Structure 1
Amino acid sequence: MIERARLDASERKRIVTRAEHLIGDIREAQHRSWVAQFLNEYQLSSQEGLALMTLAEAYLRVPDATTADLLISDKLGDADWRSHSRSSNSRLVNSATFGLILGRVMVGEGEGGGGVVRKLVGRMGEPFVRQAVGAAMRLMGEVFVMGRTIEEAQKRMRKKENRNFTASFDMLGEAARTQKDADDFYESYWDAIDKVGREPDRDHTVSIKLSALHARYETSQYDKCVPEITERLTQLCREAMRQDVAITVDAEEADRLDMSLDIIGAIARNPEFRDWNRYGLAVQAYGKRARAVIEWADTLGRPMNVRLVKGAYWDTEIKRAQVEGLSDYPVFTRKASTDTCYLACAKDMLEAKNIGPAFATHNALTVGTILEWAAERHGKDWRGFEFQRLHGMGEGLYDRLVDEEGYHCRIYAPVGGHKELLAYLVRRLLENGANSSFVNQLADDEYDDAALLADPVEKTAKVGGSMLPQIPLPIDIMGEWKNSQGIDLNDRDTLLDTARKVNAVDFQPEGIDSVHEDPHHPSGRSRAFIEATRTSNDDVHGAITAAQAAYPEWDLRPVEERAGLLEKFADVLEENRIELMGLVVKEAFRSIPDALSEVREAADFCRYYAHRARVDMPSIRLPGPTGEYNAMKLEGRGTFATVSPWNFPLAIFVGQNAAALVTGNTVVAKPAPQTPMIARRIVELAHQCGIPHDAWKLVTGGADVGAELMSDTRIAGVAFTGSIATAKRIASTLLVDEERPIIPFIAETGGINAMIVDSTALPEQVAADVMTSAFRSAGQRCSALRMLILQEDVADEMLAMLSGAMDMLYLGDPGDPATDVGPVIDRDAYDKLMSYRETMRPRWIKTVEAPEEGLFVPPTMISIDEIEDLNREWFGPLVHVTTFKAGKLKETVQRVNAKRYGLTMGLHSRIQKSADIMQTWARVGNLYVNRSQIGAVVGSQPFGGEGLSGTGPKAGGPHYLPRFCAERAVSIDTTSAGGNASLLSLDTGEI
């Protein structure tokens, strides 16, 4: 890549000269353009710029005055808008700023005691302020949106300043979440093609986003979404070809690239379109596969137009790779590397046989380089390519090239209502407002032309293509312990191969003819299975006896040795992850992604607790008088009993026992009776790693086995995860014997986990997070969403989107990669959930169909009148919905608190002060803002509740291990044996 993009000295000199002239054109245009001045005035590096971004993202979708005022106050109250009104020479910029100042003064935070502006607000009232801010936001919208409708956008393109440019119209929207969304997007594309086709004197084109054509454009849904999208794109292309309108398929995130190419390639290879030269795709140069995609496009053997862009999802790609534990990033982490790849791709495109090149860039040096290479390859008069720029960006860069030199430039022109700015606006601002972007650097007085024109290829060569140091590989993001390894299930070949191997895992207890009542469906365990996996009470007694005998030697082993064994165990878990995933899928009915998460979380527990043991366990010196040694250390207590649940049969089972073992305890572990085989295999692997057999003993069975384990007075501590009722029985057992020592009881139970959504929230994001929080794992997570509390002003809109999203859920075999929701764990759970669900039938808001055979509880939204109407946890895919009034967040949180559960709570809001209220008043162990409320990460999001939801400390957190330990202090009078030598040694004899 580096050599492909490298310039020789003479090329470099000519390119820099050309770029210097282009920079001059840009700066001259910026002085004329209020848009450029506005962006320059409010850069993202400033508090005001960030406030504007977040305000614009949410304000226009807020329907109620109360929340609008709260949002204005939140975003504008602390910023220094007056300094901007004084510094800008543009009347339009100052007009926008005036509205923002009004917002600040309205909330009582103006300068100078109020003055004229405060009096103005007093006379005109808050509605005037909202109108002013709304006008400012719509003004911002015009920076990035060409028109609210395709007709309006076409009209704007006819204006004088755009007369020599063409447009690629893009219908605003990030992705479809429901079938209605997909249908609406399809109709908008069809309408745009029709309108553009009626304007034959202008060569405008239409950009199409594949994720807008299907609500489940995901690798797991490949067999359904790819054919459906292909058919829809075929229809659009057929109409575009009839109307002689060019189509460009927009770029998506890296995890959709293979699917995108399958769809794009299907159209390209269709004989109907083989000679159509008005079809193409966008390629993102920050992607490490960018050059391979260009090569692929060139080898299709037909004309293909390629729009080369830098990329629009960089932060998303980085985070996804980290969260999923991938081996590397799909994108470059250094800006210079992206710029270098862009140039290499540009050269590839200029030399390709079948590609019509389009270069989307706002970088003068890049433009100069492309002009140089195009002339070298095809002659200085060749115009067989085009440049592209975003509407609202790059003004002035192309004016001279278009007006005087005959080059073609197309404006990428978003179309849609200002309300639809949303995430599109934020991404554009982040992308073009980043400190490393050419646009931002050009506006920064600290950057001179030499810095702007520095050669990115030489920068890349200097660091050898290495990664940005501030962005470690996904495996290293935790710093002091290794992040667990993932599998890229967004790669279809990897997903299918993983599913094949997982489903091939043997799952048949020895001597058992049938694991389930019906071997073809997960319809509950057979009696033979339960009996074969039980352990007699005598065995419980024997297990405790063996563990007690092993305790002294195990506790005396150095902490480093125990920690090392845990890390070795983590490695072995990952080495055997396919087998373990297969057991989780078949015994616990978890989906393939859930099963992978279980293995990863188990490995994370081992490595994190190994790290914490090294930090927490060593003896520490304590202060005291001279001649005295004081110290304290943590040591194991003895033999712990651990009781783990069936809903996390691998991760929690490993986590509880790893904590007990690494702190020097031996352990007798009882898994849930529904999932004994997973536990057995885990203990076998632990023993293979060198953890002594008697240090980790396993007993399996039902409630009677658990009762025997809890009643044995030799147990030195208990760690439990499960129901509230069982936790209370254990607590009672541990206290009933007056002769029994008082021992630690660590309990994590469930919760009535509420998510509160106000009118500033993005509905599409809410829909995605509710589907995940309420229905993933069939709602059988202790952290799962049980109660959704919507602001009444947007409840109908939100419920409509949620209902549409529920229609897209797929219920089926957990071993099927397409499955979203599998069966519940057993017949007892199924009967309880279905019985309750039936009693609430009159209050169903939405439900979906489920397979007739198997223990499938249909995901269901149920209406309740008040928060107080839900008084217990229903452990399945049932979510209860109620509303709250605008401005009553604190009271709403307190009503949830009054239920005395305290596990998880969520908030969706763009108001920071609302997040602050939640942090101040929510009495829960884990609070999640603007994200799903499941999937806590070890060491990053320690998990555990309070009140009826548990005792703490939080699993996967820095305070967990000490609860498994005895604190032992020692104080030694060193003067009794050695005199006061330590004190006397301080006297040098000086007077």
Structure 2
Amino acid sequence: MTRTYRNYVDGEWRDSTTGETFDTTNPAAPGEVVATYPAAGDEDAEAAIRAADEAADEWAATPGPERGAILRRAAANLADRKEELTALLTAEEGKTHAEAGGEVQRAIDIFYYFAEQARDLAGERKAASGPDTNLYTREEPIGVAALITPWNYPIAIPAWKLAPALATGTTAVMKPASVAPGPALALFEALDEAGLPDGVANVVTASGSTGAYMTEHEAVDAVSFTGSTVVGEQVYETAVEHGKRAQCEMGGKNPTVVSDTADPAEAAEIVAAGAFGVTGQACTACSRAVVHEDVHDEFVDELVAAAEGIEIGPGDEYDMGPQVTESELEGTLDYIDVAANEGAELVAGGGQPAGDRFGDGYYVEPTVFTGVERDFRIAQEEVFGPVVAVIEVSDFDEAVDVANDSDYGLSASIVTDDHTEANRFVEDVEAGVAKVNDKTTGLELHVPFGGVKDSSTETWREQGATGMDFYTITQTVYDSF
């Protein structure tokens, strides 16, 4: 049975003032409607922002341990619904059951983590120059935050924006991507059941134009965005123009360097996991394998075998699910055509799988290209699908040069048995996240995350205790007596 959702504004579940709705469908079976949502407009966003603004002072005055207790109860509520939310995420976004379950668990863990962090947000005491002054800092909430989240991690990313905001005493208005908003709304259901005061957190399901309205609104003090670089740059420029604090995490063209000391089979396993996991629909997905000529051929054989060994199908049964929408699928297929026309050699995948289980689903095969030159579009532009370009190099210096030859700088990894080489890579690679003998995807929740270059506005990091900095302003106190 199709579920019907409402917006959550000022502690109430409300229909949109527009009276309009939209449906989400299952990417594995596009004729199957998953849920119906209100198509919110600016009037709905206005009500949500005003509610957050009116609740801001009281929430800021709420003791940190009390705010943390609400987050902890919300985490427990999410845990009780883990299987239900895993099924919803798979149905709306297309992830496999294992991937969706891992993401739901991450959201639960994030809420528990920031529940504890709320206890420790007390500033620091410093030594004063004189004996009669007590010198210390206080962390004050910034006010109202607008949170704009993407569809590819529809519960984890909303959680890692919303939980730290609430932990600091900041109120929030969220606009999740309309492709898969259900998991994000589950966070608000959990918070509502946990006793969150009215107006502290609000969510509206709407088009991108409503996100723009939120970004410009006079009562919004900070804007946090995750999504494409094109949109993120627009969001940042608008927010800054209107005097707001802003953070934007955007696209990636993430490399894995395969050293001549690497085991080709191990390297191929790492690259395949980073490139084909979550159907390649991650900003941190491995899109380029930069491989030393001495191990190139064996690595390619292993990577092709890994790609061809992936079973594709509906996410509740198979290794790799569909792409999220028809337009995302078409974009990936277009890039596959571009790569072939540029002269790259297709050695695995490259098409849509045939068979009864695929139906009209948005499936594409895990794809590997070799003979890729560093200036090919397939080596420079974000694909956002399960496609990896293999670039052959002659030595370590060339490998790092190729890895850095991108407008993006989000995540990068190296597979090597040489510790000195690993250290040099970490020092020289232009990326916000650097990994050794690991895939480019996968993040710990208690350390900072963010990119450089066109992957990020390079303003504030997300996740970990550092993730709360964006939502606070430091006050320095000189207490003389």
Normalization by structure 2: what TM-score?
A: 0.89
CA distance 1:715–1:893, shift in 2 (3 Å): same
CA distance 1:507–1:637, shift in 2 (3 Å): same
Please name the residue that 2:327 is paired with.
828
Asked if the contact 1:581–1:592 (Cα under 8 Å) also holds between the matched residues in 2, the reply is yes
Please name the residue that 2:171 is paired with.
666
Please name the residue that 2:3 is paired with.
508
Asked if the contact 2:24–2:179 (Cα under 8 Å) also holds between the matched residues in 1, the reply is no
Equivalent runs, 1:910-929 vs 2, <5 Å: 910-929=417-436
Pick one of 964, 967, 970 that aligns with 2:471.
964
* Partner deviation per Cα, 1:710-746 (whole Å, 9 max, x = no partner): 111211101111111111111121233xxx4x33212
Unaligned runs of at least 5 residues, structure 2: 7-19
Distance 1:963 1:510 in 2: 30
Please name the residue that 2:401 is paired with.
894
Structure 1 residue 592: Cα displacement: 0.7
Which letter maps to 1:877?
Answer: P
Pick one of 872, 877, 884 that aligns with 2:393.
884
Please name the residue that 2:370 is paired with.
863
Which letter maps to 1:747?
Answer: C
Distance 1:774 1:864 in 2: 18
Structure 1 residue 815: Cα displacement: 1.5
Asked if the contact 1:748–1:952 (Cα under 8 Å) also holds between the matched residues in 2, the reply is no
Asked if the contact 1:884–1:892 (Cα under 8 Å) also holds between the matched residues in 2, the reply is yes
Which letter maps to 1:640?
Answer: A
Pick one of 947, 971, 978 that aligns with 2:453.
947
CA distance 1:607–1:591, shift in 2 (3 Å): same
Which letter maps to 1:845?
Answer: V
* Partner deviation per Cα, 1:567-623 (whole Å, 9 max, x = no partner): 222222111101111111111111111111111211222222233333343463552
Check if 1:568 corresponds to 2:67.
no
* Partner deviation per Cα, 1:469-513 (whole Å, 9 max, x = no partner): xxxxxxxxxxxxxxxxxxxxxxxxxxxxxxxxxxxxx65337999
Structure 1 residue 838: Cα displacement: 2.1
Distance 1:565 1:619 in 2: 25
Distance 1:938 1:779 in 2: 21
Check if 1:847 corresponds to 2:354.
no
Asked if the contact 2:144–2:222 (Cα under 8 Å) also holds between the matched residues in 1, the reply is yes
Pick one of 96, 104, 112 that aligns with 1:607.
112
Structure 1 residue 524: Cα displacement: 7.8
Equivalent runs, 1:278-317 vs 2, <5 Å: none
Distance 1:529 1:605 in 2: 26
Which letter maps to 1:576?
Answer: R
Which letter maps to 1:601?
Answer: R
Distance 1:525 1:669 in 2: 27
Please name the residue that 1:875 is paired with.
384
Which letter maps to 2:421?
Answer: S
Larger strand proportion, structure 1 or 2?
Answer: 2
Residue-pair matches, total: 457
Distance 1:770 1:891 in 2: 19
Please name the residue that 1:905 is paired with.
412
Pick one of 726, 733, 736 that aligns with 2:231.
726
Which letter maps to 1:777?
Answer: V
Instruction: Indicate the SS of the match to 1:959.
Output: helix
Distance 2:67 2:24 in 1: 39
Asked if the contact 1:890–1:918 (Cα under 8 Å) also holds between the matched residues in 2, the reply is no
Distance 1:885 1:524 in 2: 50
Please name the residue that 1:790 is paired with.
291
Larger helix proportion, structure 1 or 2?
Answer: 1
Which letter maps to 2:165?
Answer: A
Structure 1 residue 520: Cα displacement: 9.2
Please name the residue that 1:749 is paired with.
250
Structure 1 residue 563: Cα displacement: 1.7
Which letter maps to 1:625?
Answer: G
Check if 1:776 corresponds to 2:286.
no
Pick one of 122, 137, 143 that aligns with 1:617.
122
Asked if the contact 1:631–1:970 (Cα under 8 Å) also holds between the matched residues in 2, the reply is yes
Instruction: Indicate the SS of the match to 2:368.
Output: strand
Unaligned runs of at least 5 residues, structure 1: 1-505, 975-991
Structure 1 residue 662: Cα displacement: 0.5
Instruction: Indicate the SS of the match to 2:223.
Output: strand
Q: CA RMSD in A?
A: 2.4
Asked if the contact 1:620–1:633 (Cα under 8 Å) also holds between the matched residues in 2, the reply is no
Equivalent runs, 1:794-809 vs 2, <5 Å: 794-809=295-310
Structure 1 residue 681: Cα displacement: 2.1
Distance 2:35 2:78 in 1: 25
Asked if the contact 1:551–1:639 (Cα under 8 Å) also holds between the matched residues in 2, the reply is yes
CA distance 1:695–1:516, shift in 2 (3 Å): closer
CA distance 1:952–1:821, shift in 2 (3 Å): farther
Structure 1 residue 952: Cα displacement: 5.1
Check if 1:583 corresponds to 2:85.
no
Distance 1:520 1:765 in 2: 32
Distance 1:524 1:946 in 2: 40
Instruction: Indicate the SS of the match to 2:109.
Output: helix
Please name the residue that 2:151 is paired with.
646
Instruction: Indicate the SS of the match to 2:92.
Output: helix
Check if 1:810 corresponds to 2:311.
yes
Equivalent runs, 1:102-117 vs 2, <5 Å: none
Pick one of 192, 203, 207 that aligns with 1:702.
207
Asked if the contact 2:22–2:39 (Cα under 8 Å) also holds between the matched residues in 1, the reply is no
Distance 1:510 1:652 in 2: 20
With CA pairs under 8 Å and 6+ residues apart, which has the higher RCO, 1 or 2? 2
Instruction: Indicate the SS of the match to 1:582.
Output: helix
* Partner deviation per Cα, 1:948-967 (whole Å, 9 max, x = no partner): 11125433223221121011
Q: Which moved more, 1:758-767 or 1:608-617?
A: 608-617
